[in-house]
Structures are given as structure tokens and as C-alpha cells.
Amino acid sequence: MKNAIAAEWTKLWSVRATTWCLIAAAGLMAAMVAANGIAINGQHDDNLPGLTPTAATEMPVEATIYLVQFAMAAIAALAVTGEYAHRGILPTLQAVPVRWRVPAAKAVVTAAALFACGVLLAAPAIWLADVTLAEHGAPYTGGDVVHTLLTVGLYLALVGVLTIGIATALRHIAATLLVLFTLLMVLPVVMQISQTFRDLSHYVPGIAGIDLMEGTHVLRGALVLIAWAAAAMITGMVVLRKRDA
């Protein structure tokens, strides 16, 4: 297993797509946080009614949910579907014939990379939010900063694992991203139609992520995400075991 993880680490960082996705994630984070900060600042200046104060630590969360997570998930999706698109799965399975180890190693590597990158992106994003909100930012504590950094990292890591599972089961980039977008974006929006569905939506990855990162229901959010990621991984491993490579 240690060898499989080392191999996947090498593979992850030896294609340009990974770098490009990270650059895209950084760009999206910066753009959304800065634009939002400037907008909120302007609304305060204009004294628009109904404004609630926003803390700089909340802004990277919003950017992650709306934009950044998709660039990050693409890294995970490509790590799997790239193998099928270019038949790299042949040498991969020749080297690691105990099949469950392949997605497991990819999950470990992706989770570690996305956690680190999430933390590293969220930190300057808080600073950028501070700068753009200027004096209109709500106060926050050092604990809030730590909470944002860790939960953004954790959320991205779990979305990465979820993506590895889905991609292993589906083997195709478009199908993978479609399922992922449904779970992270479409369902959370559609389920706002009634109170019953709103309550249930907390058990869907997208809303669970907000619960986790905004701190409304940290533990439940984390557990829901872990459950989805685990279910996706098990499905992927079963499919990989049953189907010919």
C-alpha cells in the first residue's frame, strides 16, 4: 500500500493538469473573494437596507462552495479518468494488481494534496477578504481563522475522495463531473422547494459542506461528507473489482 501511494503521488504531480487546476482554483478563490469584498464594502457605503455584517473568515467558504471546489475536484477526477482515457490503467494495474489498493492510494494522495492546498489557499483569501472589506468586515477571532482554514481543507479533501470514488465507478470524466455537480450544486438548490426537502438537504454533500465550514453543524456536516465519500469509494472499488480493466 505504501508503494501504491508513492506511485500515485508521483503520477499526480507529473502531469500539467494538476498544476493548471491549482492555478485555476487560486484564481477563482482570489477573484470571488475580492469581488465579493468590494461589493459588500460598496453596499455598506451606500447604506443599503438589510445588510448583515460579514466576517473575512466566511468569504473563502463561499468561494469554495461556489467555485473553488470544482477546480479542485477536477484534479481528483482527472487522476482516475486520465488513466482510462489513455489506457494508463494497464500499467497501473500490472504494478498494483490488488485492485482496491489503486483507488485507495489515489484517495490518500488526493486527500492529502487537497487538504494542504485548501489550507494554503484559504489563508491568503482571508487576508484578501480583510483588505477588500476594509472597515466593514465583522470582527472575528483567531479561532475563526483556524476553523476556516481546517474546515476548507477538510471539505476539499473529502470532496476529493468522493470524486475518486465516483470516477473509479464511472471511468469517464464527463459522467464523473455531472454526478459531482449534481451532488454539490444541483441537489442543494433543488431541495430548497419545501421544508421537508430543506431538512433532508443537510444530508447531501453540498449543504453538508456548508454546515461544516460555516460552523452551523460541524460534526454532522463532517460525518455526512465522510459517509458519502466512503459510499462512493466502496462503489468504485466494487466496480473496479468486477469489471475487466
Partner 1 sequence: MIELRNLTKRYKHTVAVDGVDCTVHSGLVTGFLGPNGAGKSTTMRMILGLDEPTSGTATINGVRYDRIRHPLRTVGALLDARAGHPGRSARAHLTALARATGLPVRTVDAVLDRVGLTDVAGKRAGTFSLGMAQRLGIAAALLGDPAVLILDEPVNGLDVDGVRWIRALLRGLADEGRTVFISSHLMSELELIADRLLVIGRGRLIADASMAEVIARSGAAVLVRTPDAAALHAALAGAGADVRRTGPHELAVTGVSAERVGDIAHATGVRVHGLTTEQASLEQAYLDLTTDSVEFGVTR
Q: Residue 83 CB, nearest distance to partner 1 (Å)?
A: 8
Give the nearer residue to partner 1 in terms of CB position, either 113 or 152: 113
Q: Which H or E element spans position 54? A: strand 54-55
Give the nearer residue to partner 1 in terms of CB position, either 14 or 195: 14
Give the nearer residue to partner 1 in terms of CB position, either 16 or 142: 16
**CA separation for the pair 147, 218 (Å, rounded):** 10
DSSP 127-153: HHHHHHHGGGEEP--HHHHHHHHHHHH
Q: Residue 5 CB, nearest distance to partner 1 (Å)?
A: 9
3-state secondary structure of 117: helix
**CA separation for the pair 127, 60 (Å, rounded):** 10
**CA separation for the pair 185, 74 (Å, rounded):** 15
Q: How many CB atoms lie within 10 A of CB 51?
A: 12
Give the nearer residue to partner 1 in terms of CB position, either 23 or 90: 90
Q: Which residues bind partner 1 (CB under 8 A)?
A: 3-4, 6-11, 14-17, 82-83, 86-99, 244-245
Q: Residue 8 CB, nearest distance to partner 1 (Å)?
A: 8
Q: Residue 18 CB, nearest distance to partner 1 (Å)?
A: 10
Give the nearer residue to partner 1 in terms of CB position, either 13 or 127: 13
Q: Residue 113 CB, nearest distance to partner 1 (Å)?
A: 15
Tell the residue number behind the cell numbers 484578501, with chain if given: 128
Tell the residue number behind the cell numbers 459531482, with chain if given: 180
